[in-house]
Amino acid sequence: MKRQVSAAFNPDAIAVHDRSARPSSDYEFAFTEDDFGFIAELVRCRTGIMLAGHKRNLVYSRLVRRLRILGLSDFRSYCDLLKDNGGSGEISKLINAITTNLTSFFRENHHFDHLYQTALPAVMSENSSEKRLRIWSAACSTGEEPYSIAMTVMRSRRTLDGWNVRILATDLDTDVLSLARKATYNIQSLKNLPAPLNRDFITSSTDSQIQIDASIRKLISFKELNLLDSWPMKGPFDVIFCRNVLIYFSGETKSELINRFSSMLRLGGWLYLGHSETLSGGHSDLMLTDRTTYRKIS
């Protein structure tokens, strides 16, 4: 998802399909180990996401719809299309299909409690002269995370009166970004939304859908960004959310991304990771202060 950490994708460097390779009889479309290896390497090079062998069924289920749309008879043909004509946009559709987008409003709510009770008061004190607040939601998916961040910030709107507040929300999946910008969600998604926020920041609803209020939407800028590519923003950020993303990367890529996140944080800023993510050695500038919550100390 950002600066080029992994090697550029070279289809010719990947083993040519073994025409004698046996497809699984469980699949509607022939899907050999060769096909899976090609796709896994392409995804690794483009996104840094590692697709181990046990992800083969997941890859099949995510991509089978693309084969039907394209009218292809097997995955060998699909791989040939990616190899010969990837620039036409099919690789982007592949990445969109593979990327996991499990999210919800106020997921891992302890982070939002910490943001409201600890991080924001500290920022208000430390940035009181310039009155500037910058938050980044990396891998924002369909938008529930940045909207939850914005609602949390707006709980402090009286204290933040006159402040320059911006939330950057990025993802490599163009499809989910399109959904996020619409700010329209199934009414069932309200189950995790605290009642006062529901009342204050949901402006309209039907029997099945709700709309996020304009006061929340105007705080957020949605941008396409691959974490393995270059990062055009300059920062610094006061808070960065990058949750349940690093688990898909190799240890080397994860470590480099953490270093880059740290470089984008101001001194005293916070980094929130997912519930199953921890920092290994080599990040002495980040101190664990709460559950998967780190503060930049040097």
Edge-to-edge strand order for the sheet containing 209-212? 184-186, 209-212, 202-205
Assign 138 to helix, strand or coil. strand
What are the distances in angstroms from CA 279 to CA 77, 120, 132, 285?
41, 23, 28, 11
Assign 106 to helix, strand or coil. coil
151: nearest Cα among 137, 141, 138: 137
Give φ, ψ of 215 to 5 degrees.
-65, -30
Identify whether 62 is a catalytic site residue: yes
Residue tagged active-site, from 62, 66, 181, 266 = 62
Q: Which residues does 65 contact at the CB level (< 8 Å), separation at least 6?
A: 97
Assign 133 to helix, strand or coil. strand
Residue tagged active-site, from 171, 173, 213, 238 = 171
C-alpha–C-alpha distance, residues 261 and 243, integer Å: 12
Identify whether 74 is a catalytic site residue: no
167: nearest Cα among 104, 222, 92: 222
By annotation, the residues acting in catalysis are 62, 171
